Amino acid sequence: MAGFVIRRALGAVLLLVVTSMVTFAIFFVVPRLAGQTVDQLAAQYVGKDPSQAEIEATKVKLGLDQPITVQYGRFVKGIVAGREYSFGPSTEYCPPPCFGYSFKTQRPVWPDLVDRMEVTASLAFGASVLWLLAGVSIGVLSALRKGSFFDRAAMITALAGVSLPIFFTGLLSLALFLPTGVSYVSITDDPLAWAKNLLLPWITLAFLYAALYARLTRAGMLETMGEDYIRTARAKGLPERIVVTRHALRATLTPILTVFGLDIGLLLGGAVLTESTFSLPGIGRYAIDAINNNDLPQVLGVTMLAAFFIVVANLIVDLLYAVADPRVRLS
Amino acid sequence: MTSPLDVPETATQAQPEAVLAGAGRAIEGRSLGQIAWLRLRRDRVALAGGVVIVVLILAAIAAPLLTRITGGSPTDFHQDLVDPTFSKPKGEGTFAGFSWEHPLGVEPRSGRDVFSRILYGAQISLLIGFLATLVSVAIGTLMGIVAGYFGGWVDTLISRLMDAFLAFPLLLFALALAGVIPDRAFGLSGNTLRIAVLVFIIGFFNWPYIGRIIRGQTLSLREREFVDAARSLGARGRWVMFKEMLPNLAAPILVYSTLMIPANILFEAALSFLGVGIRPPTPSWGKMLADAVPFYSVAPMYLVVPGLAIFVTVMAFNLLGDGLRDALDPRAR
Amino acid sequence: MTAPFLQVKDLQVSFPTDDGLVRSVNDVSFGVARGETLGIVGESGSGKSVTSLAIMGLLKGAKRSGEIWLDGISLLDASSEEVRKLRGRKMAMIFQDPLSAMHPFYSVGQQIIEAYRIHHRVTKAVARKHAIDMLNRVGIPRPDKRVDDYPHQFSGGMRQRAMIAMALSCDPELLIADEPTTALDVTVQAQILDLIRDLQRDFNTAVILITHDLGVVSELSDNILVMYAGRAAEYASAEDLFTAPEHPYTWGLLGSMPRLDAEPTDRLLQIKGTPPSMINVPAGCAFHPRCPYADLASRTLVPPLTEVAPGHRVACHIPVEERRRIWQHDIRPAVEGGR
Amino acid sequence: MMMKKTGLAAVVALALGVTACSSGDDKDNGGTAEFNAADASIVNQSAKTGGTLNLALSDDWDSIDPGNTYYAFSWNFARLYGRALTTFKPAAGKDGLTLVPDLAQNLGEVSDGGRTVTYKLKPGIKYEDGTPVTAKDVKYAVARTYARDVLPNGPTYFVDLLDAGTYTGPYKNTDINAFTGIQTPDDTTVVFKLKQPFGDFDFLVSSPQTIPVPQAKDTGAKYQEHPMSTGSYKVDTYEPGKQFVLSKNPNWDSSDPNRKQLVDKIDVKLKVNAEDIDNRLLAGSLDADIAGSGMQAAARSRVLSDPNLKKNSDNTFTGRLWFFVMDEKVAPFDNIECRKAVQYATDKVALQTAYGGPIAGGDVATTMLPPTIVGYQKFDLYATPESKGDVAKAKDALTRCGRPDGFETKILLRADRPNEVAAGEALQQALGKVNIKAEIRSVPAGQYFTRFAGAPEYMKGNQIGIAFHGWQADWPTGYGFLQQLVDGRTIKAQGNTNVQEMNVPEINAMFDKAAASTDAKERETIYGQIDKAAMEHASVVPFLYGKGLLYRNPAMTNVFISYPFGMYDYVGLGKG
C-alpha cells in the first residue's frame, strides 16, 4: 500500500511538471508563433504611449528579457522556494507557492487565487451536495424501477439536463427568477446571504451534474444488479433492501465516487461557464480575465492551480478507490 | 458414410458455452447491423432524434432557400423594428418582434432576423460538431487501437498521455489557443481558418475520451480467436489492427461518435459564448446567446431561441446516440 | 413412498422479451429426496439453470407455472417474503464462477457471517466462529486467518470451497450446485465434487447438480435429467443412463465426455451444429436439426416423454427397438472405443 | 483613452435642447430631484454631516495610487484623498470646467517664453499623519511617475514635456536632485521646466500625478495600499480587488474650498456585478456607481419607464467619442474620395442604435470634439438626411475615387466588446449598400493598441482599412482631446492612437500654435479649427458622443455632474 501511494504520488508530481511545461509552452510559444512579439507583450503593461526604453525596462521587470528556459526555471523556483520581487524602492519576498506578480494589477497571483478559491469552492461544494443527493437517488430509483413511468420521465429529464448548455440554463434561470443577478457574499460575512446568493448557481450547476450522475448511477446500478454476486446475495435469503443497499449500492457507488472526485477536481480549477454566466468572481472568471489580458503570471497560476486540483483529485480518487475496493488495495 | 458423431472439420465443439454468442446469428442469418436496425426501429424516441437531426441538417443546407421565403439574410439590419432607447424589439410582451417575416423575432439592436440567424448558425454548429468529431475519432481510434493492440510500454505511454490530456484545464487552453488564431495560416484565412482551428482544437482536446473506449475494446478484441488466427497466419500488426480489428470496432465508434457530436456542439457553443468563435457577422448559436446576455430581461426570447436551438440539436443527437448504443450493445441498457 | 423432499411437476418458465415470449423451460418434472442427488445435464440454454433459479425464486420477470413443492410448501404459491426466508436456510445454491459470485468488496468471512445472521439471531462473534467452523469444514487451511481474506485472495478451488461453506452455513436441506466445477481445473474439480459428496452425506442434503458435463454427474448422481431446449430429453437413474441411454442427444453428450485417461482433443465425439436459440426453437423435436436420425415426425411433432423402463423416460420419435439397436451397434463401440 | 471630459455648458445646453438657460442659475438654489437635474444644478444641497457613502465598481481599479492610475472615475475619486496643484471648480454645468488652484495658491505663473511654470503651495497643508506637505513632495510625486516599469498606468505628459533628460525615476537613483524637470527653490515653490511651451499646463497639473507623495513613505508599486492623504478623507483599509474604506482625515485643512467632509465613511466595493450595482442603486443600498458608465439594459428600461425612478436619474455625456477611422496608408483610403464615400455611406443612426441607442449609447456625432470639451463647435461636413447615410453621394464619391463598383476592405474591432461588434456590423451593412464589402476582423481588447489598431505595421500588413476607435480626453480641452488623435507627429510603431495615420503639417502646426498661446480664448478657437481641418481630411467618422444613464440615490446630497469627468462629482457628496 505504501508503495502504491508513493508511486501514485510521484506520478502526480510528474504529471504536474509536464502540465507546467506544456502550459508554459502554450502561453509563451503559441502567441509568438501567431506573431506577437515580446515587445508587444511588454508594451501592454507599460501603460499608454511607452518608449522603447520603457518597454525594455518593463521586459526586465517582468523577466521577459530572459530565454524561455530561464523564465521557466524562475517560475518553478517561485512555486517551490518563493522569489524576491522589486517594487521600486522596496523589495518583497513572495513566499512559496509564488506564482509571481500579475503583470497588470501588480498584485501577487497566489493570494488572489486563494481569494477566488472561496467562491469557486463554495459553488462546487454546494452544488456537489445537491447533485450527489439528487443524481444518485434518482439513478438508483430509476434502475430499480426500470421501465416504469418514473424511470422514463427521469431519464428523459436527465438527457435533457445533459443536453442543455449551462450558460443557457443559467441565464434562463436568472431571467426567470433573479433578473437582478447574483452577487457573491462571503460565507464568513453572512452565511445566510452566501447561501441565498449561491442557490441559483448551485441548482443550475447541480441540474447538469445530477443529470449526468443519474444516468451514470442508473447504468451502474443496472449493471451491478445483473452481477452474479447480487444473485448470490439473494440466494442467501437477504431481504431486497439489504441486497440493494449493502451489495449493489456499494459496488455502484465506488466508480461513481471516482467520477465525482474528478468532477470536483475539475470544478475547483474554475467553473468557467457557470462563473461567467452568474458573474461570480471565482477561479474560472479569473482565468478568463487573465487570458483576455494576456497576463502570463495569472494565466500560469490559474492553469497550474486547475491542473493541481485535477491531479490531486485523481490521486485522492485512486487512494480512495484502493480503500473502497480491496482488489485494488491488496493486489 | 462416416459416423454422425465423427469429428468433421467444420463442426462446432459440443462445449456449449463457447458457441452461445453466435447462436442467434447462425440460426437466423441476421447480421449484427440488421439486429441493431431492428432494435433501433422499435425505439421511437431514438428515431425521433434521428428525424430531428435529418431535418436540422436539411434546414441548415437549405438555409438560403428557407430564409428567402421569410425574413431574408441573416445579416440584414431591420432597425425600424427595434426600439433604440430600450434596445429591444418594438412591441409589447414576450414575443415582441415576432411576425410572419420574422417568425422568431429580431435582434434587439440590429433588428436582424433571428430565424435566419438560427438556420445559418446551424450550419456552423453542425459543421464544427461533425468535423471535430471526425478529428477526435480519427486520433482516438488510432491511439486506442495502437495502445490496445501493442500493450506494454506503448500502452502505458498512450494511456499516460490520455491521463495528461484529461488533467489539463482544456477549456482554458482552448480559449487561449483560439484567442491567438492568426489572420492567415496554412493557406486559409478568415472564417475558414477559424472553423478549421476550432475543429482542430475541439477535436484534438477530446480524443482521449474515445481513445479510452477504443483501447478497452481493442484489449478485449485482442483476446478473441480471429485475431490470434490472423496473427498465426503471419499477418502483421498494421494489417491486424486495421483490417481485422477496425471493422469489429465499427459499432463502438459509431455509437460514441454519435454521442460525441453533441458534446462537441456544446463545446463550440461554449467557446463562442466566451467570445472566441466565428467572426461577426456570421451567426453562431453560442455567440447569439452571449449577445443576448445584456438583454435577457428586456428581450427574453432573444435568449430563449438560440438556447432552445442548441438544446434541441444536442438532445436529438443524444437520443439517437443512446438509441444506437442500446441497439448495438443491449447489455448497456 | 412419501413425496420426495423437492417435487417439481410440469414446470414451465417463460420470459417476455422484445422478440416475444421465450419459453425457457417446458413441462419439466422431477423429484429429489433428502440425501439423494439429481444431476441435470444439458448445453447452455437448455433450461437447466433456469430450472434451478425457478426453484430458488431468483428469476426476475419470468412467468412460472406448474408446481414446485419443497418439504410440503408450494413455492409458486408462497409469497416472495416466505420464499426469501426459505432461501439460504432450507435451500441454498452454489454458482459456477465463485469469483464473480462473491462480492468483491467484502471478506469471505463477512459474506458467510451475513448469510448466517440473516437466519439466526446471533452476535457477530458467534457468527464469526461459525464461519470459521464452516471454512474448516470445507477444508480451508488456517480458517481463522483466511476468514478475513477477500475472495480475490483465494485460489479458484478455495473460493469454491468458501462458496460451499457459505451455502451450507445454515444447514440447508436442498443444495443446488450450478456448474460448481466448470471454472476449476480438473484436479480441483474432483476435490470439490468429493467435498460435495461428503457434505451431502454428513448433512443428509438433497442435491441438484447442474452441469453440461456428464462426467461430473456420473459418479455423484442417483438420477440424471438430460435437458435440451427447455425440455426433458431423457430422465433415468445414473446407471441406466450410462449403460442404456436412449436419446441421440445423450449419446452425443456421452461421446463428448472428457476423460482423465485420454487425450481430450483428438477423441472427443461431437454433436454437429449449434444449440438452438430459445427465441426460435425448431419445430417438432428441437434436436432434429442436429440429429442424424431425424424423420418427418421429428420435424413436426414434439415427442412426448414416455417411460421406456421403470424410472427411465425418453422423449424421442425413433422407435424403441431402433434406438437400442443404434446404441448397441453404432454408438456404444464408438464411445467405448474411445475409452 | 481613459480620461476625463468636460463640457462647454452653454453649447451643451443648446445641443441638447434641455435646461437651456438654467445651467448658470440653478446651482446656488439647489435643484430638486428631476430627470437630468444634476446635469446643470446641484441636487439636494445640504450641509448635513454623518452617514456612510456607499459606492461600487463592477470592475477592478487599476490602482488607487494617485501616480499610477488612469481612469476618469479614479481621477475624480482620488481628489478625496489627495490634493493636486489644481482642480476643477466644484460646480454644476459649464462652471465645473473652470480650473481652480487646489494645493497651489494660484494657477501657474508662466515665464521664460512659456517654458517655466511656477506654483506656490498653500501654507499649512498637512498629510493625514500631521507632517507638513513640502514642494519636494510634489516634485517627488512627479518624479516617481518616470519609473514606468514600476508605475506603468498613468499618462506620460510630464515625461514627454518636462526637461529632465533621460531621467528614469527615483527608484534606481534615490537622489531626487537628479530630477531636473522640477525645481523647488523653497518648501512652498514648485517650478516646472518645460521643453517647449504648453498652453494647457494648468490642466495637466490637475491630474493626480501632482498629488504630493512623501519620499519616505513611498513603497513603489505597493504605495497604493496606503497613499498618504492630503484630502478630506484618508484610506483606512484597502483590500485589493475587493474593497476599500475611507474615513475622515483629521488633518485635512478645512479651509479647502474645493472639498467637503460630510459623511463619516466612504465605503467602496470592487468587482460587484453590474446588474447587482443597478439593483442596489434602485434599492437605495448603494449611492452611486463609481465608474459612471451608465446602467445596464434591464435597469435602464425600469428607470425610464417609471417617473418616480426617472427623476433620480441623469442622462449625461460621458465625454467619450465613438468613431471609426480609415487608415490613410491603406488603399483605397489613401484617396480622400474613397474616405468621403465611407463618410456619406455611414448610417449614424444605425450605428447609434447598435451601440445602445440615444440614452445608453449617446447622441449622433458629427465632429471629433464632444460638446463637453472646450473648443467644441457644431458642424457637419458630411451631412446626410437624418444622419442615415446618403447612398447617392457615397456613390458619387466612389466614382470620383475611381472605384465606382466599390471595393473590399476590413473593419478592425475588439471582439470582447459587444457594442463595438454591433456597431461594426452596422457599418458593414451600410457600406454594403454602396458595394463596399467590409470583412470584420475582431481581435482581443487587451492588445488592441499595442499590437493591432495601434500598430501601423499591422494595419498596413493586413490591409485593414477601417478600425473602431473610442476616445476620452485627459483634460477637457481641444488639445487634450485631439492632439493624440490627429497630430501626425504622435504616430508611433505601437500604442499608436492616431490610427488613421493622419499627418497634415497644417494641423500639426495648429497644435504648436495653441500650445504657445497664453490666451485661452484664442486656444479655444484654434481647437475648433483643428476639429474642422481634421474632419475635412475625412479619415475619421465620428458617430456618437457617448452618454450614459446615471442613477443617484435620492438620499445623497450635493449631487451634480462633473463635466470634466462626465459623472457625479465625488468630493462634495453627503447623505441626507
Instruction: Locate CATH 3.10.105.10 in chain D.
Output: 317-548
Instruction: Compute the Cα dihedral for D7, D10, D15, D17 and give only its sign.
Output: positive
CA distance B326 to chain C (A): 13
**Closest Cβ–Cβ partner in D297, D357, D425 for B281:** D425
DSSP states of B119-153 as a string? HHHHHHHHHHHHHHHHHHHHHHHHHHHHHHHH-HH
Single-letter amino acid, residue D415: A
Q: A276: which 3 cell numbers? A: 461567467
Round to whole Å and give the CA distance between D125 and D127: 7
Please write down the HEC assignment for all residues of D161-189. Answer: HECCCCCCCCCCCCCHHHCCCEECCCCCE
Round to whole Å and give the CA distance between D340 and D346: 10
Q: Do chains D and C touch (3 or more CB pairs under 8 A)?
A: no
**D169-203: b (≥16 Cβ within 10 Å) or e:** bbbeeeebeebebbbbeeebebbbbbeebbbbbbb
Q: At what angle do helices C124-137 and C156-168 cross, to 10 degrees?
A: 130
pLDDT of residue A234: 92
B4 vs C292: CB contact, 8 Å cut-off?
yes
Q: At what angle do helices B114-150 and B250-273 cross, to 10 degrees?
A: 130
B23 close contact with C: CB closer than 8 A? yes
Mean pLDDT of B219-232: 74
Q: Do C173 and C306 lie in a common domain?
A: no
Pairing status of strand D407-414 against strand D436-443: parallel
Q: Radius of gyration (Cα) for chain A, nearest Å? A: 24
D446 vs A39: CB contact, 8 Å cut-off?
no
Round to whole Å and give the CA distance between B140 and C292: 51
Half-sphere exposure of B163 (CA within 13 A, CB side): 19
Confidence check: pLDDT of D301 > 70: yes
pLDDT of residue A331: 60
Give the residue with greater pLDDT, D368 vs A115: D368
pLDDT band at B32 (very low <50, low <70, confident <90, very high): low
pLDDT of residue B43: 82
Q: Is C195 left (phi over 0), alpha (psi -120 to 50) or beta?
A: alpha
Q: Do C321 and C273 lie in a common domain?
A: yes
Q: Please name every residue paired with D237 in a beta bridge, in sequence order, or none if there are none.
A: D245
Mean pLDDT of C25-49: 89
* C230 domain residue, yes or no: no
* C289 domain residue, yes or no: yes
CA distance A198 to chain B (A): 19
B110 vs D421: CB contact, 8 Å cut-off?
no
**A158-176: b (≥16 Cβ within 10 Å) or e:** bbbbbbbbbbbbbbbbbbe
pLDDT of residue B308: 95
Round to whole Å and give the CA distance between A309 and A271: 12
* C78 domain residue, yes or no: yes
Neighbours of B199 (CB within 10 A): 22
Single-letter amino acid, residue B122: A
Global ipTM: 0.85
Distance from the Cα of residue D341 to its chain's centroid: 31
Q: What percent of chain C has pLDDT over 70?
A: 93
**Closest Cβ–Cβ partner in B83, B280, B296 for D424:** B280
**Closest Cβ–Cβ partner in D70, D271, D274 for A281:** D271
B42 close contact with C: CB closer than 8 A? yes
Q: Mind listing the pLDDT tens digit for each residue in D375-400?
A: 899 999 999 999 999 999 999 999 99
Total number of domains in chain C: 2
Single-letter amino acid, residue C257: M
- D531 CB-near residues (< 8 Å, 6+ apart): D367, D368, D369, D375, D376, D377, D478, D482
- Is the CATH number 1.10.3720.10 carried by domain B51-332? yes
Confidence check: pLDDT of B103 > 60: yes
Q: Do C22 and C60 lie in a common domain?
A: yes
In contact, C30 and C234? CB cutoff 8 Å: no
Decide which of C225, C254, C270 is a domain's last residue.
C225
Q: Identify from B81, B87, B289, B297 which residue to disrupt to test chain D contact, counting D C-beta atoms within 10 A and taking the largest count.
A: B87
Confidence check: pLDDT of B26 > 80: no
Mean pLDDT of B69-86: 83
Round to whole Å and give the CA distance between B136 and B210: 7
Question: What part of D 243-282 touches A (C-beta under 8 Å)?
Answer: 271-276, 278-279
Q: Do C119 and C251 lie in a common domain?
A: no
What CATH number does the domain containing C166 carry?
A: 3.40.50.300
Half-sphere exposure of A107 (CA within 13 A, CB side): 21
Chain A to chain D, count of Cβ pairs less than 8 Å apart?
127
Average pLDDT, chain D: 89
State which residues form the domain around C327. Answer: 235-336
Round to whole Å and give the CA distance between D529 and B51: 67
Decide which of C162, C192, C225 is a domain's last residue.
C225
pLDDT band at B22 (very low <50, low <70, confident <90, very high): very low
Q: Do C59 and C189 lie in a common domain?
A: yes
For residue C80, which of C61, C58, C51 has the smallest C-alpha distance? C58
Single-letter amino acid, residue B132: A
pLDDT of residue A174: 87
Q: B19: which 3 cell numbers? A: 458457441
**Closest Cβ–Cβ partner in C58, C85, C100 for A235:** C58
**Closest Cβ–Cβ partner in A49, A57, A90 for D222:** A90
Q: Of C10-24, C262-276, D206-220, where does mean pLDDT reach its minimum?
A: C262-276
Q: Do C289 and C258 lie in a common domain?
A: yes
pTM above 0.90, yes or no: no
**pLDDT, one tens digit for every residue, chain A (331 residues):** 678 788 888 888 888 888 888 888 877 777 777 777 888 888 877 777 777 888 888 888 888 888 888 888 888 888 888 888 777 777 888 888 888 888 877 788 898 899 899 999 999 999 999 999 999 999 999 999 988 999 999 999 999 999 999 999 999 998 888 877 787 888 888 899 899 989 999 999 999 999 999 999 999 999 899 888 999 999 999 999 999 999 999 889 888 988 898 889 889 988 889 998 888 889 998 988 888 877 888 888 888 888 889 888 888 888 888 888 888 777 6
**D426-435: b (≥16 Cβ within 10 Å) or e:** bbbbbbbebb
Half-sphere exposure of D396 (CA within 13 A, CB side): 6
**A132-141, B220-229, D470-479 — which one is most confidently predicted on average?**
A132-141
Q: Looking at domain D7-24+59-226, what is its CATH homologous superfamily?
A: Periplasmic binding protein-like II (3.40.190.10)
Mean pLDDT of B211-220: 86
For residue C105, which of A325, D203, D107 has the smallest C-alpha distance? A325
CA distance C152 to chain A (A): 7
Give the residue with greater pLDDT, A12 vs D535: D535
Round to whole Å and give the CA distance between C5 and C37: 11
pLDDT of residue B3: 34
CA distance B194 to chain A (A): 13
Round to whole Å and give the CA distance between A156 and B45: 10
D243 membership: H or E segment, kind and range: strand D243-248
For residue C100, which of C52, C31, C160 has the smallest C-alpha distance? C160
pLDDT of residue D14: 35
Round to whole Å and give the CA distance between B322 and B327: 8
Residue spans per domain, chain B? 51-332
Instruction: Locate CATH 3.40.190.10 in chain D.
Output: 7-24+59-226
Q: Of B46-60, D9-23, D279-293, D506-520, where does mean pLDDT reach its minimum?
A: D9-23
pLDDT of residue D232: 96
A58 vs D147: CB contact, 8 Å cut-off?
no
- C76 CB-near residues (< 8 Å, 6+ apart): C64, C65, C66, C67, C68
Place of cell 500560469: A300
pLDDT band at C235 (very low <50, low <70, confident <90, very high): very high
Could you tell me the domains of chain A? 2-109 (no CATH), 111-330 (1.10.3720.10)
Phi–psi pair at C71, nearest 5 degrees? 50, 45
Integer CA distances (angstroms), C24 to C13, C76, C92, C230, D111, in order:
6, 17, 22, 5, 113
Confidence check: pLDDT of B223 > 80: no
* C1 domain residue, yes or no: no
Q: Do C172 and C277 lie in a common domain?
A: no
Round to whole Å and give the CA distance between A266 and A309: 7
Q: Radius of gyration (Cα) for chain C, nearest Å? A: 21
> How long is chain D?
576
Q: Give C65-68's long-range contacts (Cβ < 8 A, gap of 24+).
A: C65/C10, C65/C11, C65/C12, C66/C8, C66/C9, C66/C10, C66/C11, C66/C12, C66/C27, C66/C28, C66/C29, C67/C7, C67/C8, C67/C9, C67/C10, C67/C11, C68/C6, C68/C7, C68/C8, C68/C9, C68/C11
* C280 domain residue, yes or no: yes
In contact, C169 and C112? CB cutoff 8 Å: yes
pLDDT of residue B311: 95
For D317-548, CATH number?
3.10.105.10
Q: C82: which 3 cell numbers? A: 416466505
Q: Do C251 and C181 lie in a common domain?
A: no
Burial of B2 (0-12, 13-18, 19+ CB in 10 A): exposed
Q: Do C199 and C281 lie in a common domain?
A: no
Q: Mind listing the pLDDT tens digit for each residue in D211-261?
A: 999 999 998 888 988 999 999 999 999 887 788 999 999 999 999 999 999
DSSP reduced 3-state for D467: strand
Give the residue with greater pLDDT, C265 vs D512: D512
pLDDT of residue D218: 93
Place of cell 466462529: C129
Round to whole Å and give the CA distance between D499 and D516: 26
In contact, D79 and D571? CB cutoff 8 Å: yes
Burial of D90 (0-12, 13-18, 19+ CB in 10 A): buried
D466 membership: H or E segment, kind and range: strand D466-472
Confidence check: pLDDT of D58 > 70: yes
Single-letter amino acid, residue B211: G
CA distance from start to end of chain C? 39
Q: Please name every residue paired with D183 in a beta bridge, in sequence order, or none if there are none.
A: D191
Decide which of C187, C204, C225 is a domain's last residue.
C225
B12 vs C255: CB contact, 8 Å cut-off?
no
Q: Do C261 and C287 lie in a common domain?
A: yes
